């Protein structure tokens, strides 16, 4: 164990732990995820003193590079995308421990060289066989890389004398069957305890704060049920298009790309019962109960909506439609917008609809959870328009303006008893002097520490596919409804809520 950890009182959870000396091996290190998120997260952890002196960043990609070439790419990525201020002295400490191995995923010699490099680092950097492998690669390449790690025995922690962990990016398969096959493979190559299925939304401070909001405050939990809650709306809106990911996105669509993972995880955290403790197993147990209890609408025609954006205006700029994006086949029926009404068949939530929606080329980037409460049963206010008063709402803003808004009725100044909706806001940036870590910053640290609290396991993943597969089967071969870029999705989504006398909250 690192000497600094021995000096910390284990009861003091305010002090972050530092991992043991280790290597982080990133496959696909030249891709957008590595350049914009992973490498900057590594720098930020180093800048905060949360990396051990014996840390090594080892890149693997199909490039004819040496260690110096990779170091230059990594430096540019940190300078452009790091959350914390770039400091040359911090980078120099990291630069001395950056390595690169060129090769393709089906090249045995390249993986043999990777294995040899890790063995050499045991002596030069004292990593004692500790390594985490991050698969920042297309899902179709997962089996090839996993089999190479198995062939070389790089995944065998007992043989290597230290921990060997793997990080798998979503989506975990493209349906329940492929998910099970992938889970079986990864759990065969690595021990199940060493498999980290990453959903970066779970690393966001505001998502974790949802649990603190519910279970650390007596104020909210007593009304967090069907007796008081009318409905729940979970929105993930993006103003961008497919951003050069045509091959992946056209095969996945909004349902597999976002609904199956991010939004169902947010639903599970919103609807779960209080865990006995905040350890990984207790949290996963309660989330799994919710996912098993999720019900689809009996009428999928009326209560599911698919959309596809066409050309329109965003931020004063004209943007093309999905079918005109580079690499998208003509006549594609892939959805860029999806909305669905789900139920959670538990005593707490029976009868409460959960409306989930996600889309690209919407007016603004925002992710939020809105808990909409029932209206007061009696309003003795003669001068108040009940339609204007509306419902109380508790809104958890996940991004980009992290915080919480409580909407409630208040008296308008004057002689009449007139009530109007007002908002009370909590903003992370205003309440705390320290900025929130990026999601990947927190999750990478947890991987190196071996803490799986914020990582879904294969049981949760498979439960999510059991919700999504019937939707994908129902949608197969149907043409999505069109909506203009810059609008809040297709008209069918508004009609879906209007059938039950509700409207979407405007973020």
Catalytic (active-site) positions: 262
Asked if 332 contacts 322 with a C-beta cutoff of 8 angstroms, the reply is yes
Q: At what angle do helices 264-271 and 280-293 cross, to 10 degrees?
A: 100
Give residues with Cβ within 8 angstroms of 336, minimum separation 6: 242, 253, 254, 307, 308, 309, 322, 359, 360, 361, 480
Burial class of residue 159 (count of CB atoms within 10 Å of its CB; 0-12, 13-18, 19+): exposed
Query: What φ, ψ does residue 141 adopt, rounded to 5°?
Result: -90, -10
* Residue pair 147/173 in contact by the 8 Å Cβ criterion: no
First to last CA, the chain: 47
Q: Are strands 23-27 and 131-135 parallel, antiparallel or unpaired?
A: parallel
177 vs 355: CA distance, rounded Å: 26
How many whole angstroms separate alpha carbon 497 and alpha carbon 501? Answer: 7
Q: How far apart are CA 23 and CA 55, in angstroms?
A: 6
492 Cβ neighbours under 8 A, 6+ residues apart? 305, 307, 481
């Amino acid at each position: 164990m690192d000497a600094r950890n021995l000096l910390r009182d284990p009861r003091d959870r305010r002090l972050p732990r530092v991992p043991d000396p280790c290597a982080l091996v990133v496959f696909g290190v030249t891709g957008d995820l590595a350049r914009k998120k992973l490498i900057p997260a590594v720098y930020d952890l180093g800048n905060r003193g949360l990396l051990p002196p014996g840390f090594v960043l080892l890149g693997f990609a199909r490039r004819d590079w040496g260690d110096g070439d990779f170091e230059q790419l990594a430096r540019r990525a940190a300078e452009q995308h790091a959350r914390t201020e770039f400091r040359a002295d911090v980078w120099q400490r990291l630069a001395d421990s950056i390595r690169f191995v060129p090769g393709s995923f089906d090249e045995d010699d390249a993986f043999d060289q990777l294995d040899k490099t890790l063995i050499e680092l045991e002596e030069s950097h004292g990593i004692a066989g500790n390594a985490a492998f991050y698969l920042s690669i297309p899902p179709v390449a997962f089996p090839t890389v996993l089999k190479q790690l198995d062939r070389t025995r790089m995944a065998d922690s007992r043989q290597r004398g230290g921990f060997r962990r793997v990080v798998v990016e979503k989506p975990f398969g493209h349906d329940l069957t492929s998910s099970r096959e992938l889970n079986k493979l990864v759990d065969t190559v690595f021990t199940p305890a060493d498999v980290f299925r990453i959903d970066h939304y779970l690393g966001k401070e505001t998502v974790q704060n949802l649990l603190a909001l519910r279970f650390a405050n007596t104020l909210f939990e007593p009304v967090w049920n069907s007796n008081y809650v009318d409905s729940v709306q979970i929105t993930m809106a993006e103003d961008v298009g497919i951003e050069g990911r045509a091959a992946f996105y056209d095969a996945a669509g909004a349902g597999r790309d976002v609904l199956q993972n991010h939004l169902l995880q947010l639903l599970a955290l919103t609807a779960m019962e209080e865990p006995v403790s905040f350890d990984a197993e207790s949290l996963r147990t309660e989330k799994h109960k919710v996912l098993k209890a999720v019900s689809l609408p009996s009428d999928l025609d009326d209560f599911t909506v698919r959309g596809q954006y066409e050309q329109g205006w965003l931020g004063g700029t004209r943007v093309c439609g999905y079918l005109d994006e580079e690499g998208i086949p003509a006549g594609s029926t892939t959805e860029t917008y999806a909305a669905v009404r789900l139920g959670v068949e538990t005593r707490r939530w029976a009868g409460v609809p959960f409306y989930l929606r996600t889309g690209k080329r919407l007016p603004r980037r925002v992710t939020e959870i809105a808990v909409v409460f029932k209206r007061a049963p009696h309003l003795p206010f003669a001068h108040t328009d009940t339609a204007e008063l509306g419902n109380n709402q508790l809104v958890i803003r996940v991004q980009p303006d992290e915080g919480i808004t409580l909407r409630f009725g208040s008296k308008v100044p004057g002689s009449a008893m007139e009530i109007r909706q007002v908002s009370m806001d909590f903003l992370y940036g205003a309440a705390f002097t320290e900025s929130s870590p990026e999601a990947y910053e927190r999750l990478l640290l947890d991987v190196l520490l071996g803490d799986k609290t914020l990582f879904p396991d294969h049981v949760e993943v498979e439960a999510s596919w059991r919700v999504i597969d019937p939707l994908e089967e129902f949608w197969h071969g149907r043409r999505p409804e069109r909506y203009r870029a810059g609008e809040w999705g297709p008209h069918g989504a508004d009609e879906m809520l209007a059938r039950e006398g509700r409207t979407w909250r405007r973020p």
